[in-house]
């Protein structure tokens, strides 16, 4: 059982929904990013999605693209991202970390070398948005064999014919992208999300977490009411981009987590 599996078992036992926060590793700089990440569990975050900076983040909108650029300009790399996770693990050995990004940096390091390093750093799961199920032998299956959850995205365009293939080797949870488009481009609607969550949960047997288009405590609660949890990314990254203090960022995260946990 991974930390992700254990977290969902604990949440189910307590009748709670999951709150997942996304932040870009190294944004605005390594030390500030680490301080924010260390503060996330205390702000009510159940699972941390740690963005891996990449030069061509095709699924991300301007907010997260710019965060990645800031991180890269500050010298952030895949190795440095794993160093940040390692530093976090020195103080927190229970909060799950999902590394979210693109395949190129992992391929460049080498899959076997990456998986060893990721396990040593305390990474629990991977979301690699540009590896479709047809490429499962490339990273998904080796990751699962190494004890990491491989989390797949489902979208409003994932129809009943495609869904079984998408969830076939998925573990941990399924990330449902609530809108058609890039991050930060529209708002999620609970009425549209609810039947999709049910469909995906029935097909996968896994918790379904909804992300994209959640940016307020009220929206966080509304989406959590119809899903197993909610992810917020761009709204948090925007606060970091605006130069908010670490405490102000974490206070905002707490308001979002309170929304999800009140569902």
Residue 131 contacts residue 103 (beta carbons within 8 Å): yes
User: Is-catalytic flag, 49?
Assistant: yes
- Max CA pair span of the chain: 47
Q: Tell me the β-bridge partners of 49.
A: 22, 98
d(CA 60, CA 67): 10
User: Look-up: residue for tokens 């905002």?
Assistant: 252
- In terms of Cα–Cα distance, which of 239, 233, 232 is closest to 257? 232
d(CA 63, CA 218): 21
User: Is-catalytic flag, 120?
Assistant: no
Q: Which of 27, 60, 136, 228 is catalytic?
A: 60
Axis-axis angle for helices 234-241, 62-73 (nearest 10): 50
At CA 115, angle to CA 106 and CA 74, rounded to 5?
A: 45
Helix, strand, or coil (residue 125): strand
Q: Which of 49, 83, 124, 228 is catalytic?
A: 49
Q: Tell me the β-bridge partners of 15.
A: none
Residue 234 contacts residue 184 (beta carbons within 8 Å): yes
d(CA 259, CA 221): 4
- In terms of Cα–Cα distance, which of 70, 65, 63 is closest to 30? 70
> Which positions are annotated as active-site residues?
49, 60
């Amino acid at each position: 059982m991974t930390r992700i599996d254990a977290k969902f078992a604990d949440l189910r036992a307590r009748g709670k929904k999951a709150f997942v926060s996304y932040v870009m590793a190294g944004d605005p700089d390594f030390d500030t990013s680490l301080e924010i990440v260390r503060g996330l569990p205390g702000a009510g975050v159940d699972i941390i999605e740690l963005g891996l900076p990449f030069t061509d983040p095709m699924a991300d909108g301007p907010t997260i693209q710019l965060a990645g650029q800031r991180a890269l300009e500050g010298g952030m790399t895949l190795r440095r991202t794993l160093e940040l996770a390692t530093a976090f693990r020195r103080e927190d050995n229970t909060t799950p970390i999902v590394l979210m990004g693109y395949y190129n940096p992992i391929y460049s390091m080498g899959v076997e070398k990456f998986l060893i390093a990721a396990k040593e750093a305390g990474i629990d799961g991977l979301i690699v948005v540009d590896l479709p199920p047809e490429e499962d032998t490339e990273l998904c299956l080796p990751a699962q064999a190494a004890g990491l959850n491989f989390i797949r995205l489902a979208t409003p365009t994932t129809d009943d014919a495609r869904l079984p293939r998408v969830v076939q080797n998925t573990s941990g949870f399924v990330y449902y992208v609530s809108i058609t488009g890039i991050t930060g481009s529209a708002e999620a609607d609970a009425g549209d999300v609810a039947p999709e969550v049910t469909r995906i949960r029935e097909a996968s047997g896994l918790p379904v977490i909804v992300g994209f288009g959640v940016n307020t405590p009220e929206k966080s609660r509304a989406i959590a009411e119809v899903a197993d949890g909610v992810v917020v990314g761009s709204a948090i990254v925007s606060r970091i981009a605006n130069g908010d203090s670490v405490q102000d960022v974490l206070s905002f995260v707490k308001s979002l987590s309170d929304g999800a946990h009140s569902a």
